Structure 1
């Protein structure tokens, strides 16, 4: 399922890798695309929206509803 998240606080490539790795730990098959200037993270995964958002938050980023 394709889902888009508004993620605040990503400022660099390291941030993008942290978010990507957190999602991949949850679902290794997930496809992650990040548009840092727009604060968007697009995820194609079988994991629930709540679990993906929680994984991103655990890395220290705010996820808007």
Structure 2
């Protein structure tokens, strides 16, 4: 996690549903471009063939490609962030 933010303890139990445009989920403790770049790089280097758009303004992460939410959640958590599992409409 970037030093511009304190860790969040909030989690959600709802699993996002994949859509034709990929998986979409929130990362409430993504607060700046550095956070977004860290999340993007962590996912894209760990899961080949994915494309990630991480937007700190909306706190949304969109992943297209061979994405499994359980794996994505583990990757984002290992990078120091707290992904919520709230579904987001594409």
- Which category of TM-score, normalised to the shorter sequence, fits these structures? 0.7 to 0.9
1:34 aligns with 2:66: no
Gaps of 5+ in 1: none
Q: What is the root-mean-square deviation in Å for CA atoms of aligned residues?
A: 1.4
SS of residue in 1 equivalent to 2:27: strand
Q: CA deviation at 1:9?
A: 1.1
Q: CA deviation at 1:55?
A: 0.2
Higher relative contact order (CA 8 A, sep 6+): 1
Bigger-Rg structure (1/2)? 2
Deviations 1:14-40 (A, max 9, x none): 111110111012223211112211110
Query: If each structure's helix is expressed as a fraction of its own residues, which one has the higher value?
Result: 1
Count of aligned residue pairs for this structure pair: 65
CA contact (8 A) 2:52 2:61 kept: yes
Which portions of structure 1, spanning 4 or more consecutive aligned residues, are displaced by more than 6 angstroms? none
TM-score by length of 1: 0.86
TM-score by length of 2: 0.65
Q: 1:16: which partner in 2? A: 36
Gaps of 5+ in 2: 1-19, 86-90
CA contact (8 A) 1:3 1:42 kept: yes
